[in-house]
Every structure is written in structure tokens, then in C-alpha cells.
Amino acid sequence: MKRRNFILQSILGSAVLGIFSNSVTAFNLDKSLKNSAMISYKSNIFPLTIATWNFPNASKRAGELLAEGATALDAVEQGVMVEEADIRNTTVGKGGAPDRDGNVTLDACIMSPSGDAGAVVYLKYTSHAASVARKVMEETPHVMLAGEGADLFAIQQGFEKEELFTEGSKLAYQEWLKKKEYKPIINIENHDTIGMLCIDKNGDIAGACTSSGLSYKINGRVGDSPIIGSGLFLDNEVGGAVATGMGEAIMKSVGSFLIVELMRQGQSPQDACEEAINRIIKANPNFKEFQAAFIAVNKKGEIGSHCIQKGFSYVKYQDGKNENIPSSYNF
């Protein structure tokens, strides 16, 4: 690259970064450069919400809050709460499918723009697992609470004790008990774990990932969704990524962390998601038997998404509207 172009690109990059980090005044820009940076801001890239699968009510809730000026962290929490409360959704929150012994257990994590994180695993009595994760992040010196301790903590924090096993999930479980066949279904009901990333008006990013995990898992099994770096990772200087699908494969590749690091090195969100899926395929000879999917966004608002099997999509809420976008895939 010629030196002049390199300098120009660096200045432009800094201008855009300055806008996104709300510190444009720190840069000594000439007027035309300031204007070009302002244009990208006014083009309504931010605020921006993306979420795994087609959860339009959740993304709309987050997107509308962001439009009103909510922080990314508040918006992402409120967004995923919509699905956690929806008992028709058997893969997240209340109404989630149980493990093979009939326990509904929830896993979730949350990350703030500062890089702080909280998580809960094997939560049995509170549907809003991501909110409990936020309390772990904000009210304790720890990152993750599990099982009985997580439930007790939730109650101490004022969460209502709930029965998560609904009539609908009980009926499906009774049916499952007849054969007791454990075979995770690819693209189950065309939705699954909700992983959401929000970028607010200031350009700050937050994320959450919440799930009832794999249906009819072994009692005690925890997936990728609450694991920082696997189900979710973000860095406010770079962007973020979230995952859905076979947690075991995602955990072994630490996929969300990998994607953020690849973006840090200059890869686009799309290329980074493809690389993360390729690594899972390479490491798992049985890759055709399960789904794994990632979505990612960088601080320019560029989005990527890739999965193993056809059928995964993500939802984007931007500029007042939802869009359900099919992901690229390998097979």
C-alpha cells in the first residue's frame, strides 16, 4: 500500500473508531473527514441488534429499547428475556425441554462492553437465567454460579421461584420416555438457544446467550451457552460472536472467542464465522450429525453468519425493522 493511502486509511479508520467510541473530539480531524465519519453514523448502522434464529419479538424488544437510548447491556438482557418467558419456546427459559430425568435446567451468560461477564449453569427455579447471570456479574466477585447455589443466589437477589417444567414440556417428555432415544435434532423446531448481540447508539457492544440446553441430555450436562468464549464472547474494541448448536463441539473449539480474535486480526465477521465452523468440521468426523452455528458483528456494524447444515438463520433489527436472514452453510 502506498504510504499516502495508508495514512489516509488510518485517519479514516480512526475517524470511524472515534465516532463509535464516542470520542471523536480526541482526534484532530479536518472538516471533510469529520463529515464523512458523521455520514456513516447517520446512516443508521447503530443501534443494531442481531440474534440467533428467528426470534423477532426478542430482537424487536432490544432494538426498540436501543432506539430509545438504552445501553447495549440493558437492551440485550431485556431482549433475551422475551424468549426466556415464552413457554412455547421449548429450548430457552420456562417451558424448556428437560434432561432425561425430568429436570429443566437453564444455562446462560452475559457480557458487558467493559468485558465483564457473568454466568449461571444448571439453574432450576428461575426462568430469567441471563438476568441472574447479570446479577452474578454485578453483585458478586465471581463469574459463574452453578446449581443449588445459583438458585439460592437468584432468590436472594429477589427473583421469584418458578416451576420451569410446563404441561407442554411434560407431555413431550412422557412421549420421549417411551423410546428414550437420545438424538439431538438438527435445527430443532427452527429455533434453539438465543444468543444476542446489541450495539447501542454510542457504538458499545453487549451480548447474552441463554438456553435450556440439549433436550433429554444427561442430568448435570452443561453446554456451551453459559461458557464465556464458547457460547458468547465480545471485545468492545473489536466486536462479538454468539453460538448455537451442539455445545460439545462449540466448547471444544472455543468458537466465539476464536471469531473475535480472528476479527481482531482483520478478518471480516463472515470469514471468521466460516473459519470457526471449518475447525469444528475438521475436529469432528461426525459433523453431519449435528448443527453448529455462529453469528458475529464487528464495530463497523458488519455482520457474519455461518453454520454446518442448511436451515439456520439469524434475525437483525436495525433502523426500525426486523429482517430474518438465512445463514450460509457447508452442507
- In the complex with ligand ASP, the residue whose CB is nearer, 33 or 246, is 246
Query: Which listed residue (71, 90, 105, 193) is catalytic?
Result: 193
Of 180, 211, 182, the C-alpha closest to 290 is: 182
How many other CB atoms are found less than 10 A from the CB of residue 303?
A: 21
237: Cα separation from own chain's centroid? 17
- In the complex with ligand ASP, the residue whose CB is nearer, 157 or 330, is 330
Q: How far is the CB of 147 from ligand ASP (least distance, A)?
A: 16
- In the complex with ligand ASP, the residue whose CB is nearer, 156 or 190, is 190
Q: How far is the CB of 265 from ligand ASP (least distance, A)?
A: 26
Binding residues (CB under 6 A) for ligand ASP: these are 192-193, 211, 213-214, 223-225, 244-247
The yes-or-no answer on residue 244 being catalytic is: no
Q: How far is the CB of 143 from ligand ASP (least distance, A)?
A: 18
State the burial class of residue 169 (Cβ atoms within 10 Å of its Cβ: 0-12, 13-18, 19+): buried
Of 65, 60, 108, 58, the C-alpha closest to 88 is: 58
How many other CB atoms are found less than 10 A from the CB of residue 257?
A: 19
Q: How far is the CB of 195 from ligand ASP (least distance, A)?
A: 8
DSSP state letters, 308-328: SSTT-EEEEEETTEEEEEEPE
- In the complex with ligand ASP, the residue whose CB is nearer, 11 or 188, is 188
- Residues with a catalytic annotation lie at 193
